[in-house]
Structure 1
């Protein structure tokens, strides 16, 4: 017993310098340094906003960034009576295939203006095409300097667009918990900052972080991009872990800045979007592979639903993670009105997609975990659309493609975000009937848009569909603008 107590005392004595340093940093209210991404090197990234030429009191998105962003500007000094909102994320935040004029941040701002007309609700849309969470985090850190009153965050679909390398790690709940706990220690964050600064000055270890380019370098932006995706890619676990870390840091940054955050769970098309790419399990023995191919051919070509169902089910017994077979079974169940099996198989078709352009279940679960742990405002776009869809499975009724809502979907989401802000006390509604006046106000906004706005959206949608099919024309190494629409 005495020996055990002695060992405990020795451990505590060894920890005393660390505990003393931590207490000192907190006692003197030393501000924690911004978290350094331990997964990728972001030193090439540039600020999104810059002074307007000839008007240094205003900031805007520079011309060189408008191939991925839409124009936005604001006064460096926030005017009195203004409630400033920054909306962050990828193409859905931007309103693709339309634009920011009909994106959910615009509709949320319009709804909040109706609820609280005594203030001016200023919405600055920072949605960037193909922007993943690690790039969004960099923008968040920037915009927190510009006196925001609210951050809207919709991210998760773009995590697999850029190739990164992650060291193998035993990912799991315990590891996430321990990592998150230690991130709260200021001395740990200070040590990490010093370590990564040393790396950025050339003292990099052999296994260094992936250095990201200044702008998005998506695999699908190039010819043959779809061929770069393969089943069983070992980087997927690292992607999910990195995504959750980014969300945690964004929540923490908003909390430290005392800025409310609305986190939105992304929605995707399950019912009407087949997998972007399917592959047979490469580890199957040749005999099983031939058997699978025979069954798969039967399932795809059968005119009888029952024959197709039996063949696809038998194929899945050989290859349980074949996205195509899951989608076929899901569609058969959906068309038969069988909600439960349809949802199971269509979800698996998304999750096992070899080219994951829709946020898979692990990404969605990470979003929910972070929201639950942080108690931030939360909007579940997936459930919002599902509750208004046939069999409660989201499809073309609300989305124009694999992930992007129709304009009425953006309006629905905008109303829900506004309601969440009021529910959680971020905004005090002074007009009790604001919800009844939303629809006429939305119609006025739409009426002010000319026909060319919708024609451009149709052209962009056609280009976007080609992009998802891996039909980009850009050649890696050549100088050209990104082929994403």
Structure 2
């Protein structure tokens, strides 16, 4: 009897364990066969010393392959050395720079500014942002981010809680329970689940999106609930989702002592009418719409104001009423009133592409609880806006900042980080001289083109007025190719660089070279290219910074020789010495030691001839030294000065003859 019970218990255990063992075995087999997608946040890069942001990580959140977006692919060192300062940015499309390329977005600008201000640091700003994600990405990324030992995490999120992937009003939705959604995200990382999804799709259980849907833009494809009234059940669920996910993420960062900056949400108020206006009481809808339609230009401003006031008293939830009152108040110079009603218009816009103010209030509360720093962008953007009301001066459409807006965001972060990172008394001077991020015309025009294409579609539906045929500039042609995805950003930058270089516009060519060098901070040849061009236009401090980066990533003898030669050619002898010392330490060639002796003697003699009476030996020696260095023009200047005083100086005549021979050989 006892044995029978033991057998029965054993069979039960096997019955429970067998499905688990089969699942584990299948998962292991699929992983071994490299089936499906690796949805880790960080994966191995083609370069051995680096990991990279997984370009496919968005498949965790997007239920449809057709909607999934591509990650940045940013590189980070596998082994974080002490000189590396690592910032990780988790954000939405704004943090990716949309509608511009990610290369001009505030994270890239921040990396550029920090690197220029702190040349002894290696600055990594790793952009984990994805178009259309929301706070579920914060929840899901937090532990993987901590494993990479960041010095700072920047969060720029909040606009996509309703229509972003897995949002409460999104077509890409796993339900309104945060716990179930989080479980769904975890399951989608498993190869077995990916296999089952593929089988369901093949069998027609899960249908593909039809072609008509795919012709719509991503914004429209992601919206399931077009109307989410202010204060409604779904509205509150979006806020609850945001608070729960942010709380978890900040708890993870806080327990691992990772500093966090949260950038408050901002959006266009003055130049973005509400997309959908609905009365708070359905019975009022027709009357409110009719009375607004009857408003016309024949009325005086006061008459319009009185009528709008009455309409508002009838129903205070109709967002278009608030917007029209805001416009009227702004026209009458009543800026505080205008700002209030523009904000109410945004809050009551039923199509929730712009985050409600409650998102910022929740973020402030949770940040305070877990020691994160909430950075209000609202205040700094208002200071840069006419009459303190946010509009087209800093925004391209409903919420994406323009280039000036990205510069403001980068500066806010830079100011905060520089206070924590390292005191630098020369920082204010550097801010004006070095920290202006290089924007080229193609990147700027590209953003304008993409904005026009966006506004042509839902929910803006603004027809594009095509200009008459005209000959496009090189910049316009390249930007157009980028906008319709006929050319890659890398190729566009290479063509633009060659164009400027061929026409001798080295200042614009340097902007392009810097953009590319900043986009690929670990690529030594690109750093070298930017440094050489900076030296050519006598931007010596900038050249030195790029050379330092090139040598840090690739300290080869060839790179050091090229830098030394470039400094000598530019007559920057003192600047060449540190690189020459590195070259001497690395190479056994005695010529480098001799060159250092010549440089030191030359520097001493040049100081002497400035302050003391003329001595022929000093000038002949200087001329000979520059001849050895290879600077024939400078050598000729000194021998000419010598022969002007002593025309028959034998040594001077011999040096001049040698110089002329080399000049003739060079010209031939």
What residue in structure 1 maps to residue 452 of structure 2? 462
What residue in structure 2 maps to residue 271 of structure 1? 270
Structure 1 residue 466 displacement after superposition = 4.0
What residue in structure 1 maps to residue 434 of structure 2? 441
Q: Contact 2:228 / 2:235 at 8 angstroms: preserved in 1? A: no
Change (3 A) 1:125 1:57: closer
Equivalent residue in structure 2 for 1:137, among 133, 136, 139: 139
Change (3 A) 1:222 1:468: closer
Q: Deviations over 1:282-316 (max 9, x none)?
A: x433xx44432332112366553223222222111
Change (3 A) 1:261 1:468: farther
Q: 2:332 and 2:381 mapped to 1: Cα distance?
A: 21
Q: Deviations over 1:174-226 (max 9, x none)?
A: xxxxxxxxxxxxxxxxxx99x969x979xxxxxxxxxxx9xxx9997375766
Q: 1:327 and 1:289 mapped to 2: Cα distance?
A: 16
Structure 1 residue 53 displacement after superposition = 4.2
Q: 1:64 and 1:166 mapped to 2: Cα distance?
A: 22
Higher helix share: 2
What residue in structure 2 maps to residue 221 of structure 1? 218
Q: Contact 2:56 / 2:70 at 8 angstroms: preserved in 1? A: no
Q: Contact 1:260 / 1:376 at 8 angstroms: preserved in 2? A: yes
Q: Where do residues 129-168 of structure 1 align in structure 2 (5 Å cutoff)? A: 129-161=131-163, 162=167, 163=170, 164=173, 165-166=175-176
Q: 2:458 and 2:145 mapped to 1: Cα distance?
A: 31
Equivalent residue in structure 2 for 1:316, among 309, 312, 320: 312
Q: 2:409 and 2:340 mapped to 1: Cα distance?
A: 25
Correspondence 1:116 to 2:127: no
Q: 1:223 and 1:457 mapped to 2: Cα distance?
A: 20
What SS does the aligned partner of 1:235 have? helix
Q: Contact 2:385 / 2:391 at 8 angstroms: preserved in 1? A: yes
- CA-based RMSD of the aligned residues comes to 3.5
Q: Deviations over 1:41-63 (max 9, x none)?
A: xxx99333321247474324336
Q: Contact 1:61 / 1:73 at 8 angstroms: preserved in 2? A: no
Change (3 A) 1:99 1:137: farther
Structure 1 residue 145 displacement after superposition = 1.7
Q: Contact 1:114 / 1:438 at 8 angstroms: preserved in 2? A: no
Structure 1 residue 167 displacement after superposition = 6.5
Structure 1 residue 85 displacement after superposition = 0.9
What residue in structure 2 maps to residue 340 of structure 1? 336
Q: 2:248 and 2:430 mapped to 1: Cα distance?
A: 37
Change (3 A) 1:241 1:254: same
Question: TM-score under structure 2 normalisation?
Answer: 0.52
Which sits farther off after the overlay, 318-327 or 159-168? 159-168
Q: 2:346 and 2:38 mapped to 1: Cα distance?
A: 31
Q: Where do residues 24-423 of structure 1 align in structure 2 (5 Å cutoff)? A: 46-53=39-46, 55=48, 57-62=50-55, 67-161=69-163, 162=167, 163=170, 164=173, 165-166=175-176, 221=218, 228-232=225-229, 234-281=233-280, 283-285=281-283, 288-299=284-295, 303-423=299-419
Change (3 A) 1:311 1:151: same
Q: 1:249 and 1:167 mapped to 2: Cα distance?
A: 15
Q: 1:222 and 1:457 mapped to 2: Cα distance?
A: 18
Q: Contact 2:53 / 2:128 at 8 angstroms: preserved in 1? A: no
**Number of residue pairs matched?**
384
What SS does the aligned partner of 1:140 have? helix
Q: Contact 1:72 / 1:124 at 8 angstroms: preserved in 2? A: yes
Q: Contact 1:90 / 1:128 at 8 angstroms: preserved in 2? A: yes
Q: Contact 2:278 / 2:317 at 8 angstroms: preserved in 1? A: no
Change (3 A) 1:166 1:53: same
Question: TM-score under structure 1 normalisation?
Answer: 0.70
Q: Rg: which structure is higher?
A: 2
Q: Where does the alignment leave 5 or more consecutive residues of structure 2 unmatched?
A: 1-36, 59-67, 189-205, 207-212, 463-483, 486-668
Q: Contact 2:269 / 2:390 at 8 angstroms: preserved in 1? A: yes
Q: Which of 1 and 2 has higher RCO (CA within 8 Å, sep 6+)?
A: 1
Q: 1:100 and 1:222 mapped to 2: Cα distance?
A: 19
Which sits farther off after the overlay, 219-228 or 325-334? 219-228
Higher strand share: 1
Q: 1:445 and 1:200 mapped to 2: Cα distance?
A: 43
Q: Contact 2:39 / 2:54 at 8 angstroms: preserved in 1? A: no
